[in-house]
Amino acid sequence: MILLAGVVGYLIGSTPTAEALGHVWGVDLRHEGSQNPGTNNARRLGGLPLAILVLAVEIAKGAGSVVVGAALAGSGGAVVAGVTATAGNVYNVWYGFAGGKGLGISAGVIIAVWPTVFVPIIVVIIVAAVISRASGTAALTAIGAINVFALIWATKDLPTGWGVPAGPYLFVISIGLSAVILRKHLQDALRPAHLP
């Protein structure tokens, strides 16, 4: 059932919702602007309302994949479905295994799997963004932070909220999400996309 959870998670994550929302707004997120079907490009092309809508749907997809994964195979299924949903967003089969950068859907996964770390991660992203003025650097800082937080939560047996138990599951989700989204954000950091 864990394998099924992974497949279902990937299919949820790869559903091209951002592109569909862009078309409703009259913009083509995959062929205009940065050509990335994500929140930043949605903001550039369609304004803040489209960006908020795209982000909300991506968060819902991430959280939804975890809920479905948990229903299929418990905590293991929740973690696997969350990681594969993010992989579906970043390496989307419908786009020739290209896609978004995975931050929005990762946020949804974290909210559902490990809600008590969500606010600390957001604080890290904001501080890193303010200091660096570069989105790629902020994302890389958050990737490093989530792995540090996994170590702290697991060794101190801190509560994860309504999500999975502290311990090995946190390492799987932190390392899994990091591995999936690292490449694109490393590219951003090497070619900084400065924040407005």
What is the average per-residue pLDDT within 5-25?
A: 94
Length of the chain: 196
Which pLDDT tens digit goes with each residue over 50-83?
A: 999 999 999 999 999 999 999 999 999 999 999 9
The values of phi and psi at residue 65, to 5°, are -65, -35
Which pLDDT tens digit goes with each residue over 130-150?
A: 998 877 788 889 999 999 999
Amino acid at 180: V
Distances from the Cα of 192 to the Cαs of 42, 44, 134, in angstroms? 19, 17, 6
Sign of CA dihedral 56, 72, 165, 11: negative
Least confident of 46-55, 130-139, 150-159, 175-184: 130-139
Quick check: 196 pLDDT over 60? Answer: no
